[in-house]
Structure 1
Amino acid sequence: MNRRKFIENSALASSAVALLGTSCTTENTSAEDKFKLKPLTGGVSFINTKDREQRIEKAALLMQKHSIDAIFIESGTSLEYFAGIRWWPSERMTGLLLFSDASINYICPAFEQERLQELITVMGEVAIWQEHESPFALVAKLFKDKGYASGMLGIEENVRFFQSDGIASHLPQAIIINAKPITAGCRAIKTVKELALMKKANEITLEAYRYGFSNLKEGMSQYELGAIVTEASTALGATEAGWAGAMFGEYTAFPHGSKTAQQLKEGDLVLIDGGCKLGGYQADITRTTIFGKPTQRQLDIWNIVKEAQTAVYEQAKAGVPCEILDATARAIVGKYDFGGEYENFFHRVGHGIGMDFHEWEYLVKGNTTPMQPGMCFSNEPGIYIYGELGVRLEDCFYITENGYESFTPQSPSIENPI
């Protein structure tokens, strides 16, 4: 479990406790009824079987281009992306082999076959294995049966080691490589429909933040605020509420939050980072505001961070190496004596985003990958001073033929964050 997922789960658990103790009125009251918020999802078009079939066709063409005979994918967002199947990771292999002729073999335990069949919308053959049998040998057999015993097999990069190692042990003559040219080649470039889902997910998240900020009150905990925002996103139409990590005062210097219990007081900075999902696509927004009146130092640091975010946008265009955007933000922070490296700006300026919070590519020093139309990123510079404060502003954007488009407008001011 990665750090972001751990924080997300912790925030959700804490939010649930906070809701039980504070915001829930009756057991059967919906979030929409409770908050008097209406869904923002009218007219939204979700991903369908035709979209997934087009993805498989594109993957097949990329495999032919890269001389890859097949790719293996297990439980995770790539399985959902190509096949529309959500499956939990366990010690029992469930996944698919996608071949360069666009044919599919699904692999699952025999006792899960009926369950898998219920979920299949993109047609393919189902191969099963019994509890005493090796799923790795089954994958190898399917690969060999297509005539690829000494061919090239791509492994989706999030496949767990015991599975990739097990498959490789049964294909001693094959070439096993990273399937990133195929998976990222498809997933990193978003379609118009994907971009629309992401834009709407970000709009829902921002509106949930607006609602949360309108309910700030002295003495509330960070978990109460996170719970309000999370439940508001559901009322606004999110298909998955996601998470909302809230931080107050000096704990805003922890980029992903602190376990320390916090109670909001006059003069505290308030930082919320998180995002909901809509139709499988992720939003990611951070806003920093003030509860009360800002000090000059708080205001100055907030304005520096916004200047850095604006400068990043000015560099966002097709053909520009990813690392340039990180260097641009760091130069602004350094200009104001907060360090040009990681002294007070602890993390990269952005990451790719789509079905996962963090995807290809990363806006970080050393990544010379040129940005392409359809790629989506976060833009999130920050300044953090432990024991005092932290400020981060984050919006997501995508590259166009002529520059970029942001899913949400930049934060107007420290006192008017949305």
Structure 2
Amino acid sequence: MSWKHPVPPISDDERRGRLKRLQERLSEQNIQGLLLGSTESLRYFTGLVWQASERLVGALVTPDAVTYVVPGFEQSRVESLRHLPGEIVVWQEDQSSAELVARLMPQGGKLGLDDALPLFVYHQLAHVFGADRLVDGGPFIRGLRLRKSQNEIALIKYAMGLTLEVHRRAHAMIKPGVKSSEVVRFIDEQHRALGASGSSFCIVSFGVATSLPHGADGDQTYQPGDVVLVDTGCRLDGYHSDLTRTYVMEEPTPEFAAAWAIEREAQQAVFDAAQLGATCGSLDDAARAVLARHGLGPDYAVPGLPHRAGHGLGMEIHEEPYIVRGNQTVLQPGMCFSNEPMIVYPNRFGIRLEDHIYMSAEGPRWFTEPAKGPTEPFA
């Protein structure tokens, strides 16, 4: 694998450590095996990257081994890809992958399932095993993925830095008459220029379209005075960046300047509340308390914050821990999540300032410094 970045990719030693911890948890819970599908968890534990399809490609993890389950015609392809060592067993097109998994399991043993497996795989397994032998493997998997290592945090931080620089370049190229599609294409090119494999996603909205949290259909053209919202990210060794900036290019109206200040205040309140031992739900509460003091909301009503205040980030762009009302998950070192208490003013504009936080042993740390002002999107 060609690697040209100053931070190291995830090593096989780190993956072996992850796998060992997973196997220990299976033994503790008397679960005889856990089936990983073609998901981010397969990559997390084994290093194997595979696009999901109607055919099962995965890995059966038992307390003392890893066995890859692969269609026969894909065996040579899997052998050529990076992955931790393990036996590869195959099933042919006229055979059942579920029956193969059953033969690899001890008689009567319980099988944990990757919580991102497709429903059709579950139904096939339930038919062969019986539903009572199938166990939700999500708690085992998510519990391990929830707290990032220093290497994972370094990868995310570096990816965030790439995307922040792309934001700077995009801000500099936005001029009257430019189309949102042109900005999207430019952002992808700049991510590639900085060593990422392009944008993993990109939302560029102008004017009223900024009031739609995930953007409007169709192309838009920037006009002087429009509010600009740019939300984009890339991936580095599977780990995501994700940053949003909202600003105006000219002197802001008093209404926009005031709204922008409230958004930044709410974002800072989330950061200040993000202390070790606090619950994820309390961070969402902190953001809504700021909005309520300014007459916004309440709850999910708009003008106000119509969604959760943040989401976890790692190998999936949205993963645990979710910064949402009522979530009793306690913040611990290694947790990483977004801070984006967007304010929506329907049919007028929206403001989302999105930076991410990682929890250090001393408390919250920014991956990127927040925006400075309504016309100054960078610190």
Who is 1:364 aligned against?
A: 324
> Residue in 2 aligned with 1:118?
80
Which protein has greater RCO, CA pairs closer than 8 Å, 6+ apart? 1
Which one of the candidate residues 259, 276, 289 is aligned to 2:247? 289
Code of the residue aligned with 2:160 in structure 1: it is N
The match for 1:355 among 292, 315, 318 is 315
* Residue in 1 that maps onto 2:100: 138
CA-to-aligned-CA distance 1:184-227 (integer Å, 9 cap, x gap): 12211111100000000001001000000011100111111122
Please state how far the C-alpha of 1:242 moved relative to its aligned partner. Answer: 1.5
1:252 maps to 2:210:
yes
Deviations 1:30-59 (A, max 9, x none): xxxxxxxxxx96422011222211111111
Structure 1 residue 82 and structure 2 residue 40: aligned? no
| More off after superposition, 224-233 vs 196-205 | 224-233
Contact 2:41/2:141 (8 A) holds in 1: yes
For 1:243, the aligned partner's letter is F
Name the counterpart of 1:389: 349
SS of the equivalent of 1:257 reads coil
1:304 paired residue number = 262
Q: Once the 2 structures are TM-superposed, how far is the Cα of residue 240 of structure 1 from its aligned partner?
A: 4.4
1:128 counterpart residue number: 90
Residue 44 (1) aligns with residue 7 (2): yes
AA in 1 matched with 2:217: K
Please give the residue correspondences for 1:222-371 in structure 2 after superposition, counting only pairs within 5 Å.
222-344=180-302, 345-371=305-331
Pick from 321, 324, 337 the counterpart of residue 377 of structure 1.
Answer: 337
- What residue in structure 2 maps to residue 24 of structure 1? none
Deviations along 1:346-405, whole A, 9 cap, x unmatched? 110001110110011111112111111101100001111221110010001111222111
Q: Any idea what SS the aligned residue of 1:274 has?
A: strand
Q: Please state how far the C-alpha of 1:291 moved relative to its aligned partner.
A: 2.2
Contact kept, 8 Å, 1:62 with 1:181, in 2: the verdict is no
**Post-superposition offset of 1:256:** 0.4
Aligned mates of 1:143, 1:214 — CA distance in 2: 58
SS of structure 2 residue aligned to 1:211? helix
SS of 1:198's partner is: helix
**Aligned match for 2:29, one of 62, 66, 83:** 66
Q: Which residue of 2 aligns with 1:411?
A: 371
Structure 1 CA distance, aligned partners of 2:219 and 2:133? 52
1:241 is paired with a residue whose SS is coil
CA distance in 2, matches of 1:42, 1:152: 42
How far apart, CA to CA, are the structure 1 residues paired with 2:270 and 2:50? Answer: 37
Query: Is residue 400 of structure 1 aligned with residue 340 of structure 2?
Result: no
Q: Is the 8 A contact 1:267 1:291 kept in 2?
A: yes
Q: SS state of the match for residue 129, structure 2?
A: coil
Q: What is the CA deviation profile of residues 260-312 of structure 1, one whole-angstrom value per residue up to 9, with x for unaligned ones?
A: 43111111110011211111100111100102110000000000000000000
- Taking the aligned partners of 1:400 and 1:68, their CA distance within structure 2 comes to 32
Comparing 345-354 with 116-125, which one deviates more in the overlay?
116-125
CA distance in 2, matches of 1:300, 1:409: 21
CA contact (8 A) 1:265 1:291 kept: no
Q: For 1:9-20, what aligned pairs fall within 5 Å after superposition?
A: none
**Is structure 2 residue 159 aligned with structure 1 residue 159?**
no
User: Secondary structure in 2 aligned to 1:361?
Assistant: strand
Other structure's SS at 1:193 match: helix
The 1-side partners of 2:336 and 2:228 are apart by: 27
Aligned to 2:69: 107
Greater displacement, 197-206 / 400-409: 400-409
Which runs of 4 or more aligned residues in structure 1 lie more than 3 Å from their structure 2 counterparts after TM superposition? none
The 2-side partners of 1:118 and 1:352 are apart by 32
Write the deviation string for residues 141-192 of structure 1: whole angstroms up to 9, x where unpaired. 1112xxxx32222111110011112112211385312112221122111111
Change (3 A) 1:115 1:208: same
How many equivalent residue pairs?
Answer: 374
Q: Which amino acid aligns with 1:283?
A: S
Instruction: Give me the TM-score of the superposition, normalised by structure 2.
Output: 0.95
Structure 2: which amino acid aligns with 1:409? E
In structure 1, distance between residues paired with 2:329 and 2:282:
10
**8 Å contact kept, 1:85–1:119:** yes
Kindly indicate whether the alpha-carbon contact (under 8 Å) linking 1:41 and 1:200 is maintained by their aligned counterparts in 2: no
Structure 2 residue corresponding to 1:181, chosen from 139, 151, 163: 139
For the 8 Å contact 1:153–1:174, the answer to whether it is kept is no
Shift of the alpha carbon at 1:320?
1.0
Contact 2:115–2:137 (Cα < 8 Å) also in 1: yes
Specify every segment of 5 or more residues in structure 2 that has no aligned partner in the other structure, as ranges. none
- Give the aligned residue type for 1:290: V
For 2:86 and 2:218, how far apart are their aligned partners in 1?
50
**Are the counterparts in 1 of residues 338 and 357 from structure 2 also a CA contact under 8 Å?**
yes
Any gaps of 5 or more consecutive residues in structure 1? Answer: 1-39
Cα distance in 2, alignment partners of residues 67 and 315 from structure 1: 38
User: Could you say what secondary structure the match of 2:199 adopts?
Assistant: strand
